[in-house]
Amino acid sequence: MEEQESKGMTNQSNWVESTMFVVQMYYTPTLVGLGTLGNCLSVYVFFYTKMRKASSSWYLAALVISDTGFLASLFVVWLNLVGFGIFNRQGYCQFFVYLSTLCSFLSVWFVVSFTVERFIAVLYPLRRQSLCTVTKAKMVILGLTCIGVILCSPVLWFSGPRPVNNKPNITACQLVTERENLASAFNVADTILTFVLPFGTIVILNGLISRAVWRLANVRRTLTTNGQRNLRCGNTGMSQAKVTKMLLVVSSVFLCFNLPAYVMRVRAFIEVHQDDTRSTMLAQQIANLLFDTNFGINFVLYCASGQNFRKAVVRLILRRPWRWHSGTPVSNHVSDIRRSSSKMTRQKTIVYEVPWNEGCEMRTIESSSTRTLSQ
């Protein structure tokens, strides 16, 4: 009876291991391929459309670039499964461990950066024009990158190709035994910098942002019900609300997909003598899959939660080549008509300053009057 139970448990564990191997074998390259394609398309949309004028677009573009770097290192590790062990070679081992560590650090702090910016834009809208600018976003991105390059550099000395099970002919990228104590101290510091501090900041700021957005939605609903028109919460307020919704979704999904992996890491720190049961190993594998997935789904999140991003992608996909009419490009003909018509009209703009009230940011309202000039 005991032998049958033992065989049943062995068969179940073998089934779990084989299932996880199949998932890693086929899911990882699919995630890397589609994730990289989506990230590249996202970068193009953020940098080569009107969205580049928004500071939040630069944070999101920096996020997908760092995520792509992590996917590249993940793909190199996956190559071991198909017999191409470039990851186990001297130099490559250290570099890709460093790249994955750096990209993980940058990704979490880029999320913190645009969460802080959204907090300022929503709760302190009068300071948004001066604090939430593209120039400041570039400075923050550059500063975080420099800090990450320095802080993550110790991992270059913690890993290297090592013999597997005392077999000199087989090597694998592993932790250097002589530096285990330093690596353990680094892991504690890395957990604080990439989990405790940023996750706590994101949770607190997202709660305050959601509360402010909910209060503003109630104000707008009340004004709509009473048949009043709030000119101070026009297109600018709606645009900011859309951006806030998009960034809330991105940061919340980031938390959900990263939390299991960090919980397993904290568990490893707390439990000195661990019993690596099959359930623990399975939980670790699932947490790693969720962690890896987070780096390849940004494009889906942007399309699902960002209306402006969707429109930019649709325009990019539906873009058609120029058509020719009577030997002249149609686009040139249209531009000539627009230039000639602009000479016939004069635009006069009257600027009014509207003060802050009821959670709506101060903005400029333009009213235009056009008159036709006689030739």
Domain segments of the chain: what residues? 10-317
Q: Which CATH number fits domain 10-317: 1.10.10.60, 1.20.1070.10, 3.40.640.10, 1.10.287.3510?
A: 1.20.1070.10
Per-residue model confidence (pLDDT) at position 23:
82
Inform me whether the pLDDT recorded for 314 exceeds 60. Answer: yes
Kindly report the pTM of this predicted structure: 0.76
More confident residue, 228 or 30: 30
Mean pLDDT, residues 11-17 taken together: 63
User: If DSSP codes are grouped into helix, strand and coil, which group holds residue 207?
Assistant: helix
Contact 43, 64 (CB under 8 A): yes
Percent share of the chain, pLDDT over 90: 31
Candidate from 7-16, 90-99, 218-227, 347-356 with smallest mean pLDDT? 347-356
Q: Are 108 and 148 in contact, with CB atoms under 8 Å apart?
A: no
3-state percent breakdown (helix, strand, coil) of the chain, nearest 5: 75, 10, 15
DSSP 360: B
pLDDT, tens only, 229-256? 444 444 555 666 777 778 888 888 988 9
SS3 348: strand
d(CA 342, CA 63): 41
Q: Does the pLDDT at position 345 exceed 50?
A: no
What phi, psi does 356 have (nearest 5°)?
Answer: -70, 140
Beta bridge partners of 366: 351
Length in residues, the chain: 375
164 vs 74 pLDDT, higher one: 74
Band (pLDDT 50/70/90 cuts) for residue 168 is low
In which residue are the tokens 């062990």 written? 85
312 vs 63, residue with greater confidence: 63
User: What does DSSP assign to residue 365?
Assistant: E
Strand partners, 172: 162
Element at 368 (helix H, strand E)? strand 364-372
At residue 10, the pLDDT reads 54
